[in-house]
Amino acid sequence: MSFATDLKTELAEKTPGERHCRIAELAGMMSCGGVVETRANGERVLSFSTEKDNIAKKCFTFLEKSFNMKIVAGETTVERRRRRTYTVCVTGEDSVRRCTEEMGFVWPEGRNLKETEVLADWAFAVPERACCARSFVRGAFLMGGAMNDPGKSYHFEIAVPSESIGRRLSEILMQFDCEPKVWERRGSYVVYLKDAEQIADALTVMDAAKARVRFEDVRVMRNKRGEIQRKVNCEVSNLAKTTRAAGRQIEAIELIRQVMGLEKLPEDLGKMAKLRLENPDASLQELGDCAKPPIGRSSVNHRMQKLCEIAEGLRLKEGG
């Protein structure tokens, strides 16, 4: 299974011990998919739908345990997509109002409710307790979350149906030192992170311990591969520079030999010229080690520069 699938499976199995945390997690789920419907007979229904049976089961269990009321669950199959949709419902205006208000959604007073009210459009109170804030993020990710395989790229996101929910979710994540971005995508909004450290923090926020360990393992391996690749690139670059420099030096020495002869060079330059011709692939340090007596890299570099200057002088003279 994918990293995101394993992560959601882990989160779906988390059950907070405190009632207020369970309600906060429900609020996170409902903010990304909850609706209040008014049926033809005037009955109010709070409904929540998902294609994941484990998420529907969690929603059902949390509603039942937290509010001690009868919850209706159903299952439908969309033939065109060959997928099942799981729906959890709370019926009755008093029950619906109680659930939504305890989750932090503000019941719209002073107006008739539309046939379908999306909870993401209602005013919403951000959870005050840190534990509830964590639970809210977990619920929102279960409904709208996605995450790339960290072995390929770092990307964590939660799709939300309204800008206001996006802003509030972003505010919650900022409480935990995350700095998410919010952007619009095809009529919905996405709260996302791309920094590896902040993604790791977000996994900790949601209490996804297994996913955090797996993420860090992959991250360490990526860092090691990156470090090795940088070293290889550096060595290749240095080798290329050495090869190009050696080529220019040999070209200069050959010109000197053809025009004036190496024997007319000062003794130290003549020896260095012959040493370079005998060791065309050697670095400056290696040439210095081969000299008798050995000399330092800076001395070798100085003599090579002198040889190149002599050759340049000969080119100008020949050209003149």
- Does residue 220 sit within a domain? no
The pLDDT score that the predictor gives to residue 82 is 67
Whether residue 54 sits in one domain with residue 157: yes
Q: How many CA atoms lie within 13 A of 187 on its CB side?
A: 0
- Does residue 96 sit within a domain? yes
- Does residue 221 sit within a domain? no
- Give me the domain span that covers residue 134: 3-207
Q: Using 50, 70 and 90 to split pLDDT, how confident is the model at 95? A: very high
Whether residue 144 sits in one domain with residue 52: yes
Q: Which CATH number do you get for residue 28?
A: 3.10.28.10
Among 207, 240, 259, residue at a domain's last position: 207
List pLDDT tens digits, range 246-274.
888 899 898 888 888 888 888 888 888 88
Whether residue 309 sits in one domain with residue 191: no
CA dist., res. 67 & res. 30, Å (int): 15
Q: What is the mean pLDDT of the chain?
A: 88
The pLDDT score that the predictor gives to residue 80 is 57
Whether residue 254 sits in one domain with residue 163: no
Q: Using 50, 70 and 90 to split pLDDT, how confident is the model at 1? A: low
- Does residue 213 sit within a domain? no
Whether residue 239 sits in one domain with residue 199: no
Whether residue 199 sits in one domain with residue 257: no
The pLDDT score that the predictor gives to residue 174 is 94
List pLDDT tens digits, range 204-238.
999 999 999 999 998 888 877 878 888 888 888 88
The pLDDT score that the predictor gives to residue 320 is 47
Whether residue 49 sits in one domain with residue 17: yes
- Does residue 215 sit within a domain? no
The pLDDT score that the predictor gives to residue 283 is 86
Buried b (16+ CB within 10 A) or exposed e, 204-225: ebbbbeebbebbeebbeebeee
The mean pLDDT of 165-179, rounded to a whole number, is 92
Using CA atoms, how far residue 84 sits from 8, 76, 265, 312, in Å, is 18, 6, 88, 80
Q: State the Rg of the chain over Cα.
A: 35
The pLDDT score that the predictor gives to residue 77 is 67
- Does residue 72 sit within a domain? yes
The pLDDT score that the predictor gives to residue 25 is 96
AA letter at 65: K
Q: Is the dihedral of CA 234, 297, 276, 290 positive or negative?
A: negative
The pLDDT score that the predictor gives to residue 22 is 94
Whether residue 261 sits in one domain with residue 127: no
Whether residue 16 sits in one domain with residue 147: yes
Q: Above pLDDT 90, what percent of the chain? A: 41
Question: What is the total count of domains within the chain?
Answer: 2
Whether residue 288 sits in one domain with residue 232: yes
Among 176, 207, 238, residue at a domain's last position: 207
Q: Using 50, 70 and 90 to split pLDDT, how confident is the model at 79? A: low
List pLDDT tens digits, range 50-75.
989 999 999 999 998 898 888 888 87
- Does residue 93 sit within a domain? yes
Answer yes or no: is pLDDT of 92 > 70. yes
Token code pair at residue 113: 């409710």
Answer yes or no: is pLDDT of 81 > 80. no
Reported pTM: 0.72
